[in-house]
């Protein structure tokens, strides 16, 4: 068998060119160099991390969360002062001031608006489109993907249950098989449990336009999260990131994935006590439901900003097990790209070697 005579640098260059081709639809849509979006994490995805991701060639996304219009306007302006690269804004569809928040984004010339947390209202979709921005929506199933495209979504994110924060019931590996082969009209970005470039590459080859990662950036150098919050990520294993548990079907609990801690154990006790008080007649069904829903009020901020990782809500995806150190956002993105390029280089080398085998051997 003849040796592989392709110079290493040339082989790597070919592999990088192939990676750029695979996610070219995503980079063209987002206007960035690398089709890696930052997941919108409340209290974490603000001006510093968002600008760092965009400056590194990716696409940062501000998490509006519960911000009011003036707060969002200030955050957008502060981000624009830190980067001249494109970034987006994630808005929650149930926000009581959604229309005003969209207006703020459009006035600030934000080019991409992500509507999350439910099916975007028709009026919001029209406002985004009429204002000249591109609309990105989350599709938890193929039938909803088609509906969102018909309603005007310019791109979709399919997020698996491996993700951190609020999650759906289906894993990314299943969602990707359900959606990617059948949706070609708009770019589709994959999310949930991603922490290696090889995994991103596999989904690109299935038809994804790019990837969205949140957990891998939560402990980034530029993240304003408390040092204890970052250390919790660095020391956690994938099995530590668990979805919230619902004790009684009569009292629904929105599934949220986060690190198991004293807070999650207290939540179970709180549900059990609330259920007991409901059954004894002490609480109405409505009051019991509100008591359960209000348990975590303010807990995410306590964890991220105050560093209360024992009783706060430490939202994290299962990729948390791959967070091994605090790194700059640019280094995280560079590692992901290098992993994908290395995988393509190895595959090309194997294919080249096989092609030079004498006929009848193997």
Domain co-membership, 309 together with 206 = no
Q: Based on the number of CB atoms within 10 Å of its own CB, is 193 exposed (0-12), middle (13-18) or buried (19 or more)?
A: buried
Could you give the CA distance from residue 229 to residue 23 in angstroms, rounded to a whole number? 32
Domain co-membership, 197 together with 251 = no
Evaluated on CA atoms 328, 329, 333, 336, the torsion sign reads positive
Q: What is the DSSP letter of 264?
A: H
Domain co-membership, 124 together with 177 = yes
Whether residue 2 is contained in a domain is answered as: no
Question: What is the structure's pLDDT at 322?
Answer: 98
Cβ pair 313, 258 in contact under 8 A: yes
Question: Chain centroid to CA 137: how far?
Answer: 12
Whether residue 10 is contained in a domain is answered as: no
Cβ pair 238, 319 in contact under 8 A: yes
Three-class SS state of 342: helix
Tens digit of each residue's pLDDT (9 = 90 or more) over 98-142: 999 999 999 999 999 999 998 999 999 999 999 999 999 999 999
Structural domains of the chain, count = 2
Whether residue 140 is contained in a domain is answered as: yes
Whether residue 362 is contained in a domain is answered as: no
Cβ pair 224, 49 in contact under 8 A: yes
- Show the domain range for 342: 19-224+328-351
Cβ pair 229, 215 in contact under 8 A: no
Residues 6+ apart with CB under 8 A from 208: 23, 26, 176, 180, 188, 189, 190
CATH of the domain at 194: 3.20.20.70
Domain co-membership, 233 together with 212 = no
Domain co-membership, 136 together with 196 = yes
Domain co-membership, 251 together with 347 = no
Question: What is the structure's pLDDT at 2?
Answer: 46
Whether residue 41 is contained in a domain is answered as: yes
Of the candidates 327, 87, 341, the one whose C-alpha atom is nearest the C-alpha of residue 196 is 341
Domain co-membership, 80 together with 186 = yes
Question: Chain centroid to CA 114: how far?
Answer: 11
Q: Residue 228 region, left (φ>0) first, then alpha (ψ -120 to 50), else beta? A: alpha
Domain co-membership, 184 together with 283 = no
Rg of the chain's alpha carbons, rounded to an integer? 22
Question: Chain centroid to CA 135: how far?
Answer: 16
Pairing status of strand 210-213 against strand 188-191:
parallel
Whether residue 310 is contained in a domain is answered as: yes
Whole-model pTM: value is 0.93
Question: What is the structure's pLDDT at 1?
Answer: 43
Whether residue 89 is contained in a domain is answered as: yes
Could you give the CA distance from residue 259 to residue 313 in angstroms, rounded to a whole number? 8
Whether residue 12 is contained in a domain is answered as: no
Domain co-membership, 163 together with 62 = yes
Residues in the chain, pLDDT under 70 = 1-6, 351-362
Could you give the CA distance from residue 120 to residue 15 in angstroms, rounded to a whole number? 39
Domain co-membership, 98 together with 190 = yes
Domain co-membership, 162 together with 74 = yes
Domain co-membership, 162 together with 260 = no
The alpha-helical segments, DSSP class H, found in the chain are 8-22, 24-30, 47-55, 69-82, 98-107, 122-130, 142-151, 172-179, 197-206, 215-218, 227-235, 262-279, 285-293, 299-304, 329-355
């Amino acid at each position: 068998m003849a040796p592989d005579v392709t110079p290493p640098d040339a082989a790597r260059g070919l592999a990088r060119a192939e990676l750029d081709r695979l996610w070219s639809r995503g980079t063209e849509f987002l206007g960035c160099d690398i089709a890696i979006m930052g997941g919108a994490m409340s209290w974490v995805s603000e001006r510093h991390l968002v600008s760092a991701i965009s400056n590194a060639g990716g696409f940062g996304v501000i998490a509006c969360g519960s911000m009011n219009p003036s707060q969002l306007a200030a955050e957008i302006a502060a981000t624009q002062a830190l980067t001249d690269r494109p970034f987006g804004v994630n808005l929650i569809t149930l926000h009581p001031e959604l229309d005003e928040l969209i207006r703020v984004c459009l006035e600030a010339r934000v080019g991409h608006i992500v509507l999350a947390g439910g099916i975007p209202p028709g009026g919001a979709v029209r406002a985004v489109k009429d204002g000249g921005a591109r609309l990105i929506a989350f599709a938890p199933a193929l039938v909803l993907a088609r509906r969102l495209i018909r309603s005007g979504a310019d791109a979709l994110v399919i997020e698996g249950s491996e993700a951190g924060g609020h999650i759906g019931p289906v894993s990314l590996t299943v969602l990707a098989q359900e959606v990617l082969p059948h949706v070609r009209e708009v770019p589709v970005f994959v999310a949930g449990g991603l922490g290696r470039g090889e995994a991103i590459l596999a989904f690109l080859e299935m038809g994804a336009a790019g990837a969205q990662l949140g957990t891998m950036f939560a402990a980034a150098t530029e993240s304003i999260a408390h040092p204890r919050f970052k250390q919790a990520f660095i020391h956690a294993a994938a099995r530590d990131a668990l979805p919230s548990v619902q004790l009684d079907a009569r009292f629904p609990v929105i599934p949220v994935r986060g690190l198991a801690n004293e807070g999650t154990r207290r939540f179970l006790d709180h549900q059990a006590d609330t259920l007991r008080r409901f059954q004894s007649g002490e609480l109405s069904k409505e009051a019991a439901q509100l008591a359960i829903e209000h348990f975590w009020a303010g807990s995410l901020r306590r964890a991220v900003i105050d560093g209360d990782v024992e009783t706060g809500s430490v939202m994290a995806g299962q990729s948390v097990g791959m967070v091994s150190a605090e790194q700059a956002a640019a280094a995280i993105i560079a590692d992901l790209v290098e992993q994908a390029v290395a995988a393509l280089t190895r595959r090309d080398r194997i294919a080249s070697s096989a092609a030079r085998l004498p006929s009848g051997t193997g």
